[in-house]
Amino acid sequence: MNQFYFQVRDGTPDAGDVSADFANEEAAILAAIQLAGELLLEAPQRFRQTQPWQVRVVDERREERFAIALGSEQDG
């Protein structure tokens, strides 16, 4: 098992990284994609009111392996 960290940035003070063990990098990336979807489902109104969000996957050496950027735009 390999340890990966999820870093969620949403324009608010940093809540810290969450670590988890995964069989490989691909499994960690798929979990990050699922996490991003869950965050949007849980707080859609908050997503519209903050800076763009980012979910990052970093490895044990703290090197970024994958990132998802989520932003919104509104006319007017």
Written in H, E and C, the secondary structure of 24-59 is CHHHHHHHHHHHHHHHHHHCHHHHHHCCCEEEEEEC
In a domain, 14, yes or no: yes
In a domain, 76, yes or no: no
In a domain, 52, yes or no: yes
- Residue 9's pLDDT is what? 86
- Residue 43's pLDDT is what? 77
Name the β-bridge partners of 54.
Answer: 9, 69
DSSP class of 13: -
In a domain, 10, yes or no: yes
Model confidence over 15-68: pLDDT tens digits? 678 899 999 999 999 999 999 999 888 877 777 776 788 999 999 999 999 999
Domain that holds residue 12: 2-70
- Residue 12's pLDDT is what? 66
- Looking at the 3D structure of the chain, how many domains does it have? 1
- Residue 72's pLDDT is what? 75
Name the nearest CA neighbour of 5 among 64, 70, 54: 64
